[in-house]
Amino acid sequence: MSRRNVPHAFTAVDSQARPAELVEVLKRLTAEPFYGAYKQRLRELLHARPGGRFLDVGAGAGDGALALSAESGARVVGADSSLTMAAAMKGAGLGHVVVADGHRLPFRDSCFDGAWADRVLQHVEDPARVVDEMSRVVRPGGRIVLADPDYATQVLDIEDQHLAAQVLRFRAEANLRNGTLAHRHAGMLAARAMEDITVEARTLVVRDPTAVDNVMGLRSWAHTAAARGHLDPADADRFVVQFDQAVHTGRFTYAVTFFLTSGTREESDEAHSRPLRRAR
């Protein structure tokens, strides 16, 4: 079988046939209790205060930016490379919206009190460059927070565990640019001389396959893998049968661990004059 990389929809929102549907996907996920809880913790890690200025990199529909502003009184800028997402943010009432690529943020050095990227680094071409840019625009003493699932931690209970592993590996390694990077976020911040680095792990456990936007479309992953040459079509059919059997018998379990990583930009600029030890 020939193998082709499979671009995830969120790597190029505006090029999708129905990009507005991705706005609705984000809103459905934000409404899930697990997502709401980790997002709240992410905002707490920013240490936002009234009058502070914060940047949401890859802000999507703007729910996180609006929540931080409402909770803390801080001024929040939502930046996203998608015109569709920028329009959604403006429509939701976010006052400061910028269409911008995280690899090249259009802001001067040290102009924010903090910045965060929530489920963004898994999609970008060069995660290290995005973190460099976040570090550049945050002032000394400011906060940087990164959050992503690490798809190397996935588990799925169906009868054929080898088949399950094949499909989950497709999601981790072929369907996402950086699907297994999240456990390395702390190293990326350490390479940029961040202080007070913390890592918190939160595991999403799904027993109801209709929850979490149908487990992020998990039932369809096998056929997507087959269509791109990563799985035999007969195995894709067999995966769906076993998926449905697991649901019918009550054994269905899927889990993946999210990592919330935070750090403080060192007060001294001396550290930022040293070459970065880039973590890839």
pLDDT at position 237 is 98
DSSP 138-183: EEEEEEEEEEEEEEEEEEE--S-HHHHHHHHHHHHHTSSTTTT-GG
- CATH code of the region 9-267: 3.40.50.150
- pLDDT on residue 11: 82
Q: Is 222 left (phi over 0), alpha (psi -120 to 50) or beta?
A: alpha
pLDDT score for 275? 43
Burial 38-60 (b: 16+ CB within 10 A, else e): bbeebbebbbbeeebbbbbbbbb
Q: Which H or E run includes 200?
A: strand 194-206
Model confidence, pTM: 0.91
Cα separation of 119 and 40, whole Å? 14
pLDDT at 95: 95
Per-residue pLDDT tens for 164-177?
999 999 999 999 99
Give me Rg for the CA atoms of the chain: 19
C-alpha of 228 from chain center? 23
User: Distance (Å, rounded) from C-alpha 41 to C-alpha 116?
Assistant: 12
Q: What are 132-164's pLDDT values in tens digits?
A: 999 999 999 999 999 999 999 999 999 999 999
Higher pLDDT, 12 or 250: 250
Could you tell me if 265 and 142 are in contact, meaning their C-beta atoms sit under 8 angstroms apart?
A: yes
In this prediction, residues 12-27 reach a mean pLDDT of 89
Of residues 75 and 5, which shows the higher confidence score? 75
- Please write the tens of the pLDDT for every residue from 79-95: 999 999 999 999 999 99
Mean pLDDT of 121-133: 97
- Is 279's pLDDT higher than 50? no
175 or 67, which is more confident?
67
Give 177-222 pLDDT, tens digit per residue: 999 999 999 999 999 999 999 999 999 999 999 999 999 999 999 9
Whether 243 has a pLDDT exceeding 80, the answer reads: yes
DSSP state, residue 220: H
More confident of the two residues 9 and 34 = 34
Return the sign of the alpha-carbon dihedral for residues 135, 182, 223, 241. negative
Mean of per-residue pLDDT scores for the chain? 93
